[in-house]
Amino acid sequence: MSWCRNWGFAAGFLFLSLWAVAAVAAANPNQSPTAASSAQPDDWRRLIERYIQRQAGASGLRIQVDIPPDEAGPPACGKAPRFVEVQRTRWIGPQNIGLQCDTPTWRWSVNLRVRGFSQVVQTSRAVPAGQLLGPEDILQVESDLATEPTGVLTDLAQAVGRETTRPLRENTSLTLNTLRVPAVINVGDRITVRVVGKAFQITADGVALQKGAVGDTIRVKLSEGKTVSASVVRAGHVDVTL
């Protein structure tokens, strides 16, 4: 009789277990066993992060990928999905990354943000327009290049000895547009003018009518009264090529 009681107890337990499974399935009619078992919410995030690291990390920047935390991710795929390749001029900033699957067939995309961190040059204090920058006027800080202006300087040597084109506040990121090479010739300076022709070279005295840095072209009045355009060679010296 005891075996009968044990068999009845086992049969009852099995019935209750099957009933519970059926109840769960009824409550989730759209969830297939395959999709549930293959759902790994972090896998697709790591896949995208590794892909962007390969693309954007070649620049030497420290890369951070910001994917919306509430993004559910792509559907299940029979094998690893492929990336939808798109020509991009820039990998830093807002991006749209697409995936596609063959079995089953689908395409999916996500909007995310790629941050690329690098050392940039900023002012360490407020400086006026026309200030020649020295080491004490600038510093390097790590910053996301997506938030920086185009052409931001990344090397202190690019800023030292240059002149500001406008007043700058403390912690202003420096670009080539905010700096210029300082003038070595000013208006009214007496200068030496070298005139170079095809088979001759002479020198003359002149007066600068414009200020200019090395490489600039300025107007110069020669001692004889003629005005010419000349290229600044160094302080006090310009060239005129005929």
Q: Could you tell me the domains of the chain?
A: 39-115 (no CATH), 117-180 (3.90.1210.10), 190-241 (2.30.30.760)
CA-CA distances (angstroms) from residue 34 to 30, 43, 101?
11, 16, 16
CA–CA separation, 182 and 74 (whole Å):
56
DSSP three-state, residue 105: coil
Give Cα 131 distance to the centre of its chain.
28
Given phi > 0 = left and psi -120 to 50 = alpha, else beta, which region is 133? beta
- Cross-strand bridge partners of residue 163: 132, 180
pLDDT of residue 42: 64
Question: Which residue is it, tokens 């006026």?
Answer: 128
pLDDT of 36 > 60? The answer is: no
Q: What is the pTM of this model?
A: 0.63
Joined together, the tokens standing for residue 174 give 């420096």
- The pLDDT tens digits for 156-212 are 999 999 999 999 999 999 998 999 999 999 999 999 999 998 888 999 999 999 999
pLDDT of residue 185: 94
